[in-house]
Structure 1
Amino acid sequence: MAVRQRAVAALPTLLRALRKEGISKQNQPLPSLRRAFSLYDQINLIDNVPEDQLRFQEFDDTGFKVNGVRYEGSLLCVGNLLMSWTPKKFSEITTESLSIFQTVRPIPEILILGCGRNIQPIDPQLRSFIRSTGMKLEAVDSRNAASTYNVLNEEGRIVAAALLPYGVTS
């Protein structure tokens, strides 16, 4: 009880001190944002990627640039593993060309299929095969597939990409 009485007695003194502090702070100028912007400008999140993490940096009609290295032709990425991939056109993408996903562990959450320049309809048998592995399928053009892979991989998600060069049209 005595503790409570002392706390109640000290309350007016505490309120006066807080009011004084509040009045003095109102007259102070706002802090400069110049320092915040200069520090922010020095941070480049796009190039600040761990060395062991794959990052698509460029693409063209015949291949991709990944982590500073130029690759010709189709690529298959699982997590941070990069492989050359045999299909040269969309019609060559089969369950056999994606059979690696029957053995890869852990199973990626999603397979991003880069169809080349244009999005193509996915064969129902291929779609069924991908679902049977436990993955979801996202079929987009190769430019967006590479970008989506970068974002999901940077988030630390287990993701796979099967990419045809952007120049492939069918």
Structure 2
Amino acid sequence: MGTRARLPSLIRSLQKEAQPKPTCQQSLPSLRRAFSLYDQINLIDNVPNDQLRFQRYTDSGFTVNGVDYEGSLLCVGNMLMSWAPKKFSEITPDSLSIFQTVRPVPEILILGCGRYIEPVSPELQRFIRSTGMKLEAIDSKNAVSTYNILNEEGRIVAAALLPYGISS
């Protein structure tokens, strides 16, 4: 058998090898479930460089992506700004007026009240609803955790945060 005669059989054998083998339809288990809790925390900490991640809070500020910030902060998506209110009573529709122009509108505003959860005035509730956002008012410690989780999920989220040391 000459070289020309073997060529078609060689091509057929290569085509058979190149065809994908049937794959199992069962989904693979999540890798996160296979690691310890410590490993899960490390996996969660590996966020993209352009994504905000609160790493620590103090009585006077926050650590975000390795940078320490003093005072109140306003976060919209992955944008971080200094925010004027120094205590809960200074949080007004005017202090949150940026949300009248921000697009896309965040689905939720997480309001970090400081050390304790504070009741939100009906006026402020109406203003936040008028922007199209939902409101979650919680202590700042839980506010930064909630922000991290929702932001990591890719949700459009905003946070207005007073330092944890602030109380009424």
Q: TM-score scaled by structure 2? A: 0.76
Is the alpha carbon distance of 1:130 and 1:43 closer, same or farther for their aligned partners in structure 2, counting shifts above 3 Å? Answer: closer
Percent identical residues: 81
Equivalent in the alignment of 1:143: 141
Is the alpha carbon distance of 1:50 and 1:120 closer, same or farther for their aligned partners in structure 2, counting shifts above 3 Å? Answer: same
Q: What is the 5 A alignment of 1:152-167? A: 152-167=150-165
Equivalent in the alignment of 2:23: none
Question: How far does the alpha carbon of each residue in 1:34-80 deviate from its partner, in whole angstroms, 9 at most, with x for none?
Answer: xx769x95992132100000000000100000000000000000000
Q: Could you list the runs of 5+ residues in structure 1 that have no partner in the other structure?
A: 1-35
Equivalent in the alignment of 2:122: 124
Paired letter, 1:78: V
Q: CA deviation at 1:152?
A: 0.1
Matched positions, count: 134
> Are residues 1:52 and 2:50 paired?
yes
| Aligned mate of 1:87, from 85, 88, 104 | 85
Task: Note the aligned Cα RMSD (angstroms).
Answer: 1.8
Q: What is the 5 A alignment of 1:88-103? A: 88-103=86-101
Is the alpha carbon distance of 1:55 and 1:43 closer, same or farther for their aligned partners in structure 2, counting shifts above 3 Å? Answer: closer
Q: What is the 5 A alignment of 1:38-49? A: 41=39, 44-49=42-47
Question: How far does the alpha carbon of each residue in 1:113-156 deviate from its partner, in whole angstroms, 9 at most, with x for none?
Answer: 00000000000000000000000000000000000000000000
Q: Could you list the runs of 5+ residues in structure 2 that have no partner in the other structure?
A: 1-33
How many Å separate the matches in 1 of 2:105 and 2:35? 42
